């Protein structure tokens, strides 16, 4: 063996021996003695960290949380999302569930999933979350918009295995399963969203299995469509109730029709000193007038507005100028129909917290929270069939009507959600606009 070969072999043996020594040191958790410069640097870093912790104790690490066994376990059951046109998207089920049939829609909200799932406007819909991870901050009792989850099902890309938040009292999975709401995870939600966006919202089903069966496909074909579906009568309350200051102490008395009203609407009215009497969707004009309101509010809600004929008739009787009226979402659509307009179903709807809307009077652009699948037919010139209405707001994405106002009476409505929850607060001024109308009545 030549001298060069011997030197090369010796070098390899030396590095191999050193590697074994380092691995054994690591296994025994031994460490080499650091240099004086390294010791000084570590002391400096430790001092800086202790100072930060004194200024902000929240920086202390929270104890590691264990993943939900159903989420972290390797034995997730296969599941899928099947659409009525035959397209299907595979996923997994963290927990077993019965098949759920409903309209499949998507929302672009990055957070606020608890408010989304408890919004009664989502009744009868399977919601696809476009955000890549859902459930990371758990569930708490404060951020709900109704008494329980109202969605028919949830589809996510990734379900957080370790939710963590100082307000959290439970996990999203346990909360949904306790309400018998199915969840399908590990779905390519980007592909599914793009599919719905290009072909429109349609009926679908969440089911367990490797692939769709003939029985599931047949049941999906027989499930009801959102067109012509009155869900306001399902989402409403059975009896009237009141909240806010006592009658003698309240700044105003507002009667609110509950077609599926979110709790934050009620909170905002009460915060502004109003006493609110919430009435069922089928309350008559005579019953409302007997309550002697200073103003009438038409709430959000689910379903096809054209199918809620009883509410349209009531609004038409109340819209005589004797009392100010303010509507949002479904209430906006019902007001348009009551004044002689028409509503149309949007291809895939507006759902999310980043929809731009232009105020035609001021030119101001509002970033709004929206959740609707129908819209009032109209344009900048007005609403066809409703000469008494003028268009006040337009959507900058597709040009649809986002706000209407009566030309003579203090009656107006917007298609979006000024109360947000979740979403931006750009449009909360509409509540103040309504209260000003009550002051000048």
Beta bridge partners of 396: none
CA pair distance 47, 235, nearest whole angstrom: 58
The pLDDT confidence band at residue 25, using thresholds 50, 70 and 90, is: very low
DSSP 234: H
β 88-93/125-129 pair status: unpaired
pLDDT for the residue numbered 56: 53
β 241-243/183-184 pair status: unpaired
pLDDT at 14 over 50: no
pLDDT at 67 over 90: no
**CATH class of the domain defined by 232-439:** alpha beta
pLDDT at 20 over 80: no
Annotated active-site residue in 103, 115, 145, 419:
419
pLDDT for the residue numbered 71: 55
Counts of helices then strands in the chain (DSSP H, E): 13, 19
Q: How far apart are the first and last CA of the chain?
A: 108
pLDDT at 313 over 70: yes
Annotated active-site residue in 253, 393, 417, 430:
417
pLDDT at 399 over 50: yes
Task: Determine if residue 268 is left, alpha or beta; phi over 0 gives left, psi from -120 to 50 gives alpha, anything else beta.
Answer: alpha
pLDDT (average), residues 97-118: 96
Annotated active-site residue in 145, 329, 372, 390:
329
Q: By three-state DSSP, how is residue 177 classified?
A: helix
pLDDT (average), residues 164-191: 96
- The ranges assigned to domains in the chain are 69-222, 232-439
CA pair distance 342, 346, nearest whole angstrom: 13
pLDDT for the residue numbered 304: 98
pLDDT for the residue numbered 306: 98
Helix axes 330-338, 309-318, angle to 10 degrees: 70
pLDDT for the residue numbered 46: 52
pTM, two decimals, is: 0.82
* CB atoms inside a 10 Å sphere around CB 37: 8
Sheet bearing 252-258, strands edge to edge? 241-243, 274-280, 252-258, 295-298, 325-328, 411-414, 401-406, 389-395, 343-359, 365-376
Taking only the tens place, the pLDDT of each residue in 247-293 is: 989 999 999 999 999 999 999 999 999 999 999 999 999 999 999 99
Taking only the tens place, the pLDDT of each residue in 123-143 is: 999 999 999 999 999 999 999
- Reference 327, options 310, 315, 342, 309; nearest CA is 315
pLDDT for the residue numbered 424: 75
Stretch (H or E) spanning 208: strand 202-208
Strand ranges (E), 329-440: 343-359, 365-376, 389-395, 401-406, 411-414
pLDDT (average), residues 93-115: 96
Do the Cβ atoms of 314 and 297 come closer than 8 Å?
no
Stretch (H or E) spanning 328: strand 325-328
- Reference 117, options 374, 417, 371; nearest CA is 371
Average pLDDT, the chain: 87
Residue 425 a catalytic site member:
no
Higher-confidence position of 32 and 414: 414
pLDDT at 58 over 90: no
pLDDT at 34 over 50: no
Does domain 69-222 sit in CATH 3.50.30.20? yes
Higher-confidence position of 161 and 51: 161
CA pair distance 25, 349, nearest whole angstrom: 62
Q: What percent of the chain has pLDDT over 90?
A: 78
Residue 210 a catalytic site member:
no
CA 83 to mean position of chain CA atoms: 21
pLDDT at 244 over 90: yes
Residue 342 a catalytic site member:
no
User: In the structure encoding, which two tokens stand for residue 252, read together?
Assistant: 């105003």
Measured between alpha carbons, how far is residue 80 from residues 22, 70, 92, 156, 333 in Å?
Answer: 49, 17, 7, 12, 34
pLDDT at 170 over 80: yes
Q: Which of 62-71, 176-185, 304-313 has the lowest mean pLDDT?
A: 62-71
Higher-confidence position of 45 and 341: 341
pLDDT (average), residues 223-244: 96
């Amino acid at each position: 063996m030549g001298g060069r070969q011997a030197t090369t072999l010796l070098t390899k043996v030396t590095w191999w021996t050193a590697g074994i020594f380092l691995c054994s040191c690591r296994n025994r958790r031994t460490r080499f003695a650091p240099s004086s410069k390294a010791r000084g640097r570590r002391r400096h870093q430790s001092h800086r960290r202790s100072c930060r912790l004194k200024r902000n104790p929240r920086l202390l690490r929270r104890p590691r949380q264990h993943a939900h066994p159903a989420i972290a376990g390797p034995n997730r059951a296969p599941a899928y999302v099947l659409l009525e046109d035959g397209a299907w998207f595979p996923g997994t089920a963290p927990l077993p569930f019965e098949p759920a049939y409903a309209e499949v829609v998507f929302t672009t909200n990055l957070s606020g999933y608890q408010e989304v799932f408890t919004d009664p406007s989502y009744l009868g819909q399977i919601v696809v979350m476009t955000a890549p991870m859902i459930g990371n901050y758990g569930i708490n009792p404060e951020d709900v918009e109704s008494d329980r989850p109202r969605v028919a099902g949830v589809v996510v890309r990734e379900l957080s295995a370790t939710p963590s938040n100082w307000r959290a009292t439970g996990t999203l999975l346990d909360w949904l399963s306790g309400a018998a709401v199915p969840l399908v995870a590990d779905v390519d939600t980007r592909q599914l969203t793009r599919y719905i966006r290009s072909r429109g919202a349609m009926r679908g089903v969440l089911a367990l299995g490797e692939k769709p069966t003939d029985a599931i496909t047949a049941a999906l074909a027989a499930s009801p469509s959102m067109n012509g579906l009155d869900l306001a009568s399902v989402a409403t309350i059975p009896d009237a109730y009141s909240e806010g200051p006592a009658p003698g102490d309240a700044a105003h008395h507002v009667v609110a029709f509950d077609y599926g009203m979110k709790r934050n609407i009620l909170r905002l009215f009460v915060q502004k000193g109003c006493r609110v009497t919430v009435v069922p969707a089928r309350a008559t004009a005579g019953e409302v007038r007997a309550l002697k309101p200073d103003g009438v509010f038409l709430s959000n809600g689910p379903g096809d507005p054209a199918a809620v004929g009883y509410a349209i008739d009531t609004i038409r009787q109340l819209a005589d100028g004797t009392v100010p009226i303010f509507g949002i979402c479904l209430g906006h659509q019902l007001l348009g129909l009551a004044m002689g307009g028409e509503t149309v179903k949007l291809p895939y709807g507006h759902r999310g917290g980043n929809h731009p809307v232009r105020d035609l009077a001021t030119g101001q652009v509002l970033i709004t929270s929206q959740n609707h699948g129908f819209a009032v037919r109209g344009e900048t010139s007005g609403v066809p069939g409703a000469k008494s209405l003028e268009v006040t707001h337009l959507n900058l994405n597709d040009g649809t009507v986002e706000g209407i106002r009566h030309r003579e009476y203090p009656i107006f409505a917007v298609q979006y959600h000024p109360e947000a929850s979740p979403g931006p607060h750009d449009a909360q001024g509409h509540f103040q606009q309504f209260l000003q109308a009550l002051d000048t009545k």
